[in-house]
Structure 1
Amino acid sequence: MPESIYIHIPFCTHICFYCDFNKVFLKGQPVDEYLQALHREMETTFQQHPPQKIKTIFIGGGTPTALNEKQLDYLMQSIHSFVQFDPNIEFSIEANPGDLTTGKLKVLKDHGVNRLSLGVQSFNDDLLKAIGRSHKAKDVYVTVEEARKIGFENISIDLMYGLPNQTLEDVGHSLEEFFRLNLEHCSAYSLIVESKTIFYNLMKKGKLPLPSEDIEAAMYERIMNDMNHHGYHQYEISNYAKKGYESKHNIVYWDNENYYGLGAGAHGYIGSARRSNVGPVNKYIQAVEETGLAIREEITLTKKDKIEEEMFLGLRKTAGVSVKKFKEKFSVNPFEYYHDEIEKLTNEKLIEVNDEFIRLTEKGRFLGNIVFQEFIK
């Protein structure tokens, strides 16, 4: 059974221009009814697939900390009523700077949350406004200081690059502020313009001034170099951590392991089946009221599917795909199964291999999606 849980809270106090996650504007939404439905889905899911000791929990969104203190407390009590925690559990929650009041931080801390993931994106106030964020840079410092006072010792932030009108100097400034805060972890993502977003509509109209591919590549290189210089290990294409602070929950995804997915629009992976939930909030609530679950689609993976996922997920890690683990999982030698692909990518200096691993080269990290595509037969 899975040892990790993802819980989705779809409510936001504002909608960012780049976001295509399952989310709704908070005002007027049936938040309490949603949390009750989530409680019921947990109950049904864990009856059908009883969990062992849970090693990681990640509450994402949306903006989970858009909930008020009472609602956060209810959510935490729901989790504790069904889940037995591993003593060394990593319990994370996403939050926006400025949303985390002292009261909310205390509720989270009292219920065992020990890792905060803050959606900072940039330390440039003008840029934050241009991408639809509601916080300012000063809110980041206040939130981090308050979280430290409450006792949080594992704080991560998200940064973005390749944003409209963003410069290499701006990326450098955000990195400097991150280092000054002395946080434990950073996820640095390039902007991907997804359909059904405000940015997508602007791009279609020719009104989204994005940096060139060369400048975006220079931004990525700057991030990698500066992180390494300041002692942050790049353990995945977009993730950097001080030693011992890698995201255990995200590694579950990249290791292609099972996890529960709960909430509207959430995805889970149990046994050989990947499942996704109904997305719209009211339809999710209705589905759970009727059946105890809200499954929109469930796909049973073939051995071929699993092998492909093992490769393109595992190659995201700088450690790469373990040859030993691959053989144990699939009773297949990856060098035989992917002989032509591995030979081609090695010759192109996009991957490097030995008896222990298959992993991206530094050049390969810049062209990751091209590499991943090669392993989908």
Structure 2
Amino acid sequence: MIKGAYIHIPFCHQICHYCDFNKVFFKNQPVDEYIETLGMEMKMFAEKYKEHLHIETIFLGGGTPTALSADQLERLFELIKQYLPMQHVQEFTSEANPDELTYDKLVVMKNNGINRLSLGVQSFDADILSRLGRTHSNEHVYKTIQMAKDIGFTNISIDLMYGLPGQTMDQWNFTLQKALELDLPHYSAYSLIVEPKTVFYNLMTKGKLILPGEDLEADMYSLLMDAMASKGIQQYEISNFAKPGFHSKHNNLYWDNVEYAGFGAGAHGYALGNRYANIGPIKKYMDALLSGELPINSTHEVTAVERMEEEMFLGLRKVSGIDKKQFKDKFGKTLEEMYGQVLSKHIDTGSIIDTHDRVALTRKGRFIGNEIFQSFLME
């Protein structure tokens, strides 16, 4: 059953130095036409998978959804509600830049069912923001959050980043304290990964990107976990923290390995056992739809072994870990049958805990999550 929908808006007014997502500068782009072809894709997908759609979460990502005008957002929501079954939707999230959210845009979002905002804050240090290529200020953050609350938004999350070029522990601690002073229900915090085709990658290849070492980055992660816990913000996934009742339902679909639709140029989805990727270049994406075809660039039928592997490295991202009974019900084999030797090794080193009903990463294991995930990939 397809329970989620991701909708990609590839336009940005400013390209961040770390971003490798499919995006283009907003200026001189066919934005209105793109929105209309998004509607075509949703219509065609909904007709093809009608019997399998039970949409519970929708996520607008990018790029930057808030690069759109209020009128463009209104049209996008009209198309979403026209072509996607909305009766079961529990969570409707939009990413946003703090300096792009106007009162009018927030009202349009609220009136059209958006009930969760995810703001790209990244840092409260002006020098760090400049290095990242971000254009907002702390004042934008405070003003936008207050405006959203005044309009009636209660589920607000912010993204933070650490392990950044030239970032010190003091700077990271400052950002954490400023973030926690906002007393929000949800926080996401990610360590920097330098991806190809980014400004940071180009600087790194020239030896001009000075990053904190692994030890300092680990100390930053430790501080993050302790700071969140001290304020009663529970860690529920390697990079995500929330007050009770405010876990991201959409992201939980990914970690629970549930199928979801991906709409838009370069979007990825998972439907009826197949993972697929859409065409990335905007014009080629639009041309495919205008010719009456779904804009699929590639598909991969997930094998039984791959499904189990995904279940492990996605499920172990969650603090709650993997339910042994659910694993057996899903795959017809026990965790011990499939991964007994690997699990024993990590239990012995204190990286995984076995509570009889579940297996989960320990605090120690969260520091080396990627290494542990790799160990569950079969030869």
- How far apart are the structure 1 equivalents of 2:357 and 2:281? 44
Q: 1:351, 1:364 within 8 Å by CA — same for their partners in 2?
A: yes
- Helix, strand or coil at the partner of 1:195: coil
Cα deviation for residue 87 of structure 1 reads 5.6
Q: Which residue of 2 aligns with 1:175?
A: 176
Q: Name segments (4+ residues, structure 1) moved above 4 Å.
A: none
* 2:64 aligned partner, one-letter code: T
- How far apart are the structure 1 equivalents of 2:338 and 2:317? 20
- How far apart are the structure 2 equivalents of 1:277 and 1:53? 21
Residue 285, structure 1, aligned to residue 286, structure 2 = yes
Q: Which residue of 1 aligns with 2:219?
A: 218
1:70-119: CA deviation from partner (whole Å, max 9, x where unpaired): 11000000011122324661000000001000000000000010000000
- How far apart are the structure 1 equivalents of 2:94 and 2:5? 12
262-271 or 50-59: which moved more? Answer: 50-59
* 1:49 aligned partner, one-letter code: Y
- How far apart are the structure 1 equivalents of 2:105 and 2:244? 28
TM-score by length of 1: 0.98
Q: Which residue of 2 aligns with 1:80?
A: 81
- Equivalence map 1:106-145=2 (5 Å): 106-145=107-146
- Equivalence map 1:163-312=2 (5 Å): 163-312=164-313
Q: Which residue of 2 aligns with 1:24?
A: 24
- How far apart are the structure 2 equivalents of 1:350 and 1:53? 36
Q: Which residue of 1 aligns with 2:148?
A: 147
- Helix, strand or coil at the partner of 1:317: coil
Cα deviation for residue 303 of structure 1 reads 0.3
Q: Which residue of 2 aligns with 1:3?
A: 3
* 2:224 aligned partner, one-letter code: I
1:138-189: CA deviation from partner (whole Å, max 9, x where unpaired): 1100110111111100000000000011111111111111111111101000
Cα deviation for residue 136 of structure 1 reads 1.1
Q: Which residue of 2 aligns with 1:36?
A: 36
- Helix, strand or coil at the partner of 2:370: helix
Cα deviation for residue 126 of structure 1 reads 1.3
Is there any run of 5+ residues in structure 1 with no aligned partner, and where?
A: none
Q: 1:274, 1:298 within 8 Å by CA — same for their partners in 2?
A: yes
- How far apart are the structure 2 equivalents of 1:237 and 1:180? 22
1:332-375: CA deviation from partner (whole Å, max 9, x where unpaired): 11111111111111112111113211111111000000000000
336-345 or 310-319: which moved more? Answer: 336-345
- How far apart are the structure 1 equivalents of 2:95 and 2:232? 24
Relative to structure 1, the CA distance from residue 221 to residue 204 in structure 2 (aligned partners, 3 Å threshold; closer, same or farther) is same
- Helix, strand or coil at the partner of 1:157: strand
- How far apart are the structure 2 equivalents of 1:123 and 1:220? 17
Relative to structure 1, the CA distance from residue 152 to residue 295 in structure 2 (aligned partners, 3 Å threshold; closer, same or farther) is same
Q: Which residue of 2 aligns with 1:337?
A: 338
Q: Which residue of 2 aligns with 1:45?
A: 45
- How far apart are the structure 1 equivalents of 2:199 and 2:4? 33
- How far apart are the structure 1 equivalents of 2:265 and 2:195? 20
- Helix, strand or coil at the partner of 2:2: coil
- Helix, strand or coil at the partner of 1:123: coil
Cα deviation for residue 291 of structure 1 reads 2.7
- Helix, strand or coil at the partner of 1:245: coil
Is there any run of 5+ residues in structure 2 with no aligned partner, and where?
A: none
Residue 65, structure 1, aligned to residue 66, structure 2 = yes
Cα deviation for residue 3 of structure 1 reads 1.7
Q: 1:40, 1:292 within 8 Å by CA — same for their partners in 2?
A: no
- How far apart are the structure 1 equivalents of 2:89 and 2:206? 50
- How far apart are the structure 1 equivalents of 2:54 and 2:292? 26
* 1:195 aligned partner, one-letter code: P
- Helix, strand or coil at the partner of 1:306: helix
The percent identity for this pair of structures is: 51
